[in-house]
Amino acid sequence: MKPYFVLYTKKRCQWCRKAINLLNEKKYPYIVTDVTKNKEILEAIKTVFNHSTVPIVLYADNDNSRLNLVGGYTELESSFDSIVGQNLPPAVENVE
């Protein structure tokens, strides 16, 4: 299975919407779970991943054996290319 992102979001959260829009723009697969109405689950997820705000963005690696914390929208935006590696420019050899 291809790597993908998991997002825990809340309604009316501008940063959650921005994270979803970014992944749509990059055409990268993701799963969204809205935790607006379930504070207990949200608090448990915050505790497990030691992240206090939404969205909580996780990344399932190549073998999908674990979820890695990316952070929130800001971390997703700034580190997307290094996380997935698919949009990085090809390596160029130094030719003399």
**Superfamily of segment(s) 4-81:** Glutaredoxin (3.40.30.10)
Mean pLDDT computed over every residue of the chain: 86
According to the model, what pLDDT value does residue 84 have? 84
Q: Is the pLDDT of residue 71 over 90?
A: yes
According to the model, what pLDDT value does residue 83 have? 86
Residue ranges of domains in the chain? 4-81
3-class state of residue 35 by DSSP: coil
The percent of residues in the chain predicted with pLDDT above 70, rounded, is 86
45-66 per-position pLDDT tens digit: 999 999 999 999 999 877 767 8
Q: Is the pLDDT of residue 93 over 60?
A: no
Mean pLDDT of 18-43: 95
Shortest CA distance to 8 belongs to which of 52, 44, 55? 55
